[in-house]
Amino acid sequence: MKPVQAFLLNLLVIITIIWLLFGFAMGAVTAPNNDMSPNIKMKDLLLYYRLEDRYTAQDMVVINKNGRVYIGRIVAVSGDTVNITDDEHLEINGKTVSETNIYTSTPRYEGFVEYPVKLPEDTCFVLADNRSGGEDSRYYGIVDRSEIKGKVVITLRRHNI
């Protein structure tokens, strides 16, 4: 009977650790669409760290905005000024941003956000990697710190491996 009790105790400890890890420190979500393509594809599994307290430009984050989950890349943080020019370039604090992992231009979405945008305290501006059609801050506005679920730390491909 001793080996069975030891096994059950070990199993209980492992389940408790996993519950604590994914209940408080980590989270998992599948990419809802191809907004982050080609870096993240629809249905890829993303693990994110919930306890991050400082976000910087280029961090990929999971956002809960208006009851929907979005994945995006932070391009500007509190105090920055964001502008998207008429010739579809991203400017942060008056300087054009050169991004090596973005393969399309960054068009404005008319009727949603007025540019330039000055970001208040505890906010950020998030863009999808697929700039030509992704839903991001050009569509739903600036993101409040409380709307960020966490920073993506691991991406697991679920198709076309």
Residue 5: CB partners within 8 Å, gap ≥ 6? none
Q: Which two tokens stand for residue 158?
A: 């679920």
Report residue 159's pLDDT band, with 50, 70 and 90 as the boundaries.
Answer: low
- Which of 6-15, 117-126, 145-154 is predicted with the least confidence, judged by mean pLDDT? 6-15
What is 2-156's CATH number? 2.10.109.10
Count CB-CB contacts under 10 A for residue 146: 9
How does pLDDT run across 33-67, given as a tens digit for each residue? 999 988 899 999 999 999 988 999 999 999 999 99
